[in-house]
Amino acid sequence: MKIQVLGPLGAEVNGGSIVPTAGKPRQILSLLALHPGRVMPVSVLMEEIWGTEPPQSALTTLQTYILQLRRRLGTAMGPDAPEVAKDVLATRHGGYLLQIPAESVDVHEYERMVAEGRSAFEAGDDDSSASLFRKALGLWRGSVLVDVRVGPILEIEVMRLEESRLGTLERRIDADLRLGRHSELIAELIELTARYPQHEGLHSQAMVALYRSGRQASALDIYRKLRIRLIEELGVEPSPQVQRLHQAMLAVDPQLDVAAGPRRSSTFDLYAA
């Protein structure tokens, strides 16, 4: 079985899609798939579907959805020899769990590659690190569960994963910058700073990429626009790290030209105190 949540919900068994069409069973499958092998309490599932005010029939309805899913998944998994049932969707004291290996879900693969990418970064292997992060991001086919109605529980998961995606993207760019790929990154960073106009990490990266490509004026312009935006919209100055990066550019600090210094920090923290 292969389940995909990094994008539209996908669930494939033996080459055939088994994603339910109805909204609530899709929510249940998504939530269970995000925690393979772990019991999801009935109360959590009910909160996800009905919020804080479940109808009287909620428990029965939930059981019906679970039975439908179990039948659907279990039947799609096809005939199998073992003498005992090994329920793919099992009932366990007060909850339900999807008994599939974690590797069946794309999030697991994504998180594994991100962790490996981080270790490579710490170990100074910028090349592997950049490529692992790139592969991890390549698993995404759109926004998390873009075609699933999300309730309060899934919403937290969606936020967590979208944050993780952005963080991984930033780390990948850090590794690329250390590899001296500054000019190749400019177009991507211009787009990213437009999409995340208050994201200081991405702005620091855009500044560094432009600066190292011999475009100091554009680098300073990025800072100027970020500062105006932060002051006008939030009433705050950019963080000290970005301010110091700006100072260093004004002072033409030679350290700025060292692509991969011994300090293994993010671009944002290049001038951390």
Partner 1 sequence: MTTVYPSHGGRAAFRRKKVVQVSDERVRRSSRTIDVAAPAGVVYGLIADAERWPLYLPLNVYVERLDFDGVRERLRMWVIAEGQVTSWMSDRVQDPARRRVSFRQDLIVESTRSPAGTWTVRELGPDRCRLTMDYEFTVVDARPEDVRWLERATAVNARSNLRSLRFLAERWPRLDELILSFEESVRVKGPPELCYGFLYDVGDWPEQVPHVRRVGLAEPQAGVQRAVMDLAAADGTTQTVDSVRVCFPHAGRIVHKETAVRKLVAAHCGEWSVVPDETGVTVVSQHHVALCEEDIEPVLGAGATLEDARARVRAEIGRQSMETLRLARKHAESAVRVL
**Shortest gap between Cβ of 182 and partner 1 (angstroms)?**
48
**Shortest gap between Cβ of 143 and partner 1 (angstroms)?**
24
39 binds partner 1 (CB under 8 A): no
Torsion angle, CA of 132/124/102/20, rounded to 10 degrees? -30
CB nearer to partner 1: give 76 or 220.
76
- Are the C-beta atoms of 75 and 62 separated by less than 8 Å? no
CB nearer to partner 1: give 91 or 243.
91
- Are the C-beta atoms of 12 and 19 separated by less than 8 Å? no
64 binds partner 1 (CB under 8 A): no
b or e along 1-10 (b: 16 or more beta carbons within 10 Å of the residue's beta carbon)?
bebbbbbebb
# chain residues binding partner 1, by CB under 8 A:
28
CA angle 116, 122, 126 (to 5 degrees): 80
71 binds partner 1 (CB under 8 A): yes
Of 52, 53, 57, 79, the one binding partner 1 (CB under 8 A) is: 79
Tokens (6 digits) for 48: 């996800």
* Part in contact with partner 1 (CB under 8 A); list of ranges 76-84, 106-114, 211-219, 257-265: 76-84
Return the sign of the alpha-carbon dihedral for residues 195, 231, 267, 177: positive
Give the footprint of partner 1 on residues 7-26 (CB under 8 A). Answer: 15-16, 18, 21
57 binds partner 1 (CB under 8 A): no
77 binds partner 1 (CB under 8 A): yes
CA atoms of 235 and 246, how far apart (whole Å) = 19
Which residues of the chain form contacts with partner 1 (CB under 8 A)? 15-16, 18, 21, 63, 67, 70-88, 90-91, 94
